[in-house]
Amino acid sequence: MNSDLILGRFDKATIIAFSCSILLIIIGALAKPDFLSVNYIVQQLQTASFLGIIATGTMLVILMGHIDLSVPWTLAMGAMMATGAQGLLGRFIGPDLALDLAIPFGIFCGMMVGLVNGIGVAYLRAPSMIFTLGVNAVAQGLMIYHTGGFTPQDKASTLMHELAIGRLIPGVPNPLLIWIAVGICAVFMLTRTTLGRRIYAIGNKEKAVYLSGVNAKRVVLIVFVIAGGCSAAGGILLAGWSNRSFQAMGDPYLLPSIAAVVLGGASVMGGKGRYLGTVAGVILITLLQSILSVLQPQQVLADLGWKIPADSVRQIAFGVVIVLMLLLYGREKAIR
């Protein structure tokens, strides 16, 4: 796979996504002068980093022509297991060591969810949409059992809190540095490794990959494991940001993560997409959320007699984006 397909010249979708981001910035600046301040832009990049890490895993799955609907509770499980690691593991390895292993333990739990997804999709040949939705429900049930049906009181560790709000480099939030590192790894994998080439090949024609002698099932399994780890990592950072984990903390990230990927030009049919496009999509989604908060369209609708909650307005906006991009890119794939 030529690296130009990933990082070369800007494709149409990436240009559109970045152009829309600039337009949103202009609209935001007109509505709120502080929108262009350095502090506000840095804050938006910090917020985008959480979504960007999660969307990295989502993109890898979509490139294969699959979809992962277990993101919400994989994210929540990673966060809740990390914040509760001292109690869960402390009795076996001691509280101090358990605290040191909290973050790896949370990511490991997310990867185990991805492993289950990969086995179901790759080896049991279950439709990814249905199977991952079922796994999401199972993860939700396990977490409700873990907390006894109540909101957990587990607090984020000092390291988790520092990773989410600290600044190792002055002026640059730590989550942004982590997203950059994750992005570099993803780009390297997609452009310089056999695994990356096989991911694109499976998205284009999985049967042909299998007939060529490549173990396509193992590739699908690995990608779902990586996606689970990305979701859990995003959840751990979010727990550090809010200084605690809580049930349903991943629900707001399912549609935005998918929307960011398809906005960046990745085909939901698989085989097409660049990480730069996903970055553009994440920034656009983050700015869209910010603009909706600034302009408060739900208040305008309320004045017209339509009382719609702000969360509903956001979900409608993301849903419309996904449907439109699905029609656009799905149709292009079918025509080719």
pLDDT given at position 116: 98
Name the residue range of residue 158's domain: 4-293
Statement: residue 226 has pLDDT above 50: yes
Residue 313 lies in a domain: no
Rounded Cα gap, residues 71 and 240, in angstroms = 18
Burial class (CB in 10 A: 0-12, 13-18, 19+), 6: buried
Average pLDDT on 173-201 reads 96
Residue with tokens 């709000």: 165
pLDDT given at position 300: 60
Burial class (CB in 10 A: 0-12, 13-18, 19+), 82: buried
pTM for the structure as a whole: 0.89
Helix (H/G/I), strand (E/B), else coil: 264: coil
pLDDT band at 4 (very low <50, low <70, confident <90, very high): very low
Residue 334 lies in a domain: no
| Candidate from 10-14, 121-125, 280-284 with smallest mean pLDDT | 10-14
pLDDT given at position 113: 98
- Percent of the chain surpassing pLDDT 70: 89
CATH number of the domain where residue 203 is located: 1.10.3470
Residue 307 lies in a domain: no
Average pLDDT, the chain: 86
Residue 304 lies in a domain: no
Residue 192 lies in a domain: yes
**Residue pLDDT, tens place only, 106-153:** 999 999 999 999 999 999 999 999 999 999 999 999 998 877 755 555
Q: Which two tokens stand for residue 252?
A: 């707001």
Statement: residue 1 has pLDDT above 50: no
Residue 49 lies in a domain: yes
DSSP result, 213-237: T--HHHHHHHHHHHHHHHHHHHHHH
Residue 326 lies in a domain: no
Rounded Cα gap, residues 2 and 76, in angstroms = 36
Interior angle at CA 32, CA 28 and CA 34, nearest 5: 100
Residue 309 lies in a domain: no
Contact 266, 151 (CB under 8 A): no
Contact 150, 261 (CB under 8 A): no
Contact 56, 229 (CB under 8 A): no
Statement: residue 309 has pLDDT above 80: no
Q: Which two tokens stand for residue 59?
A: 């993109």
- The structural domain count of the chain equals 1
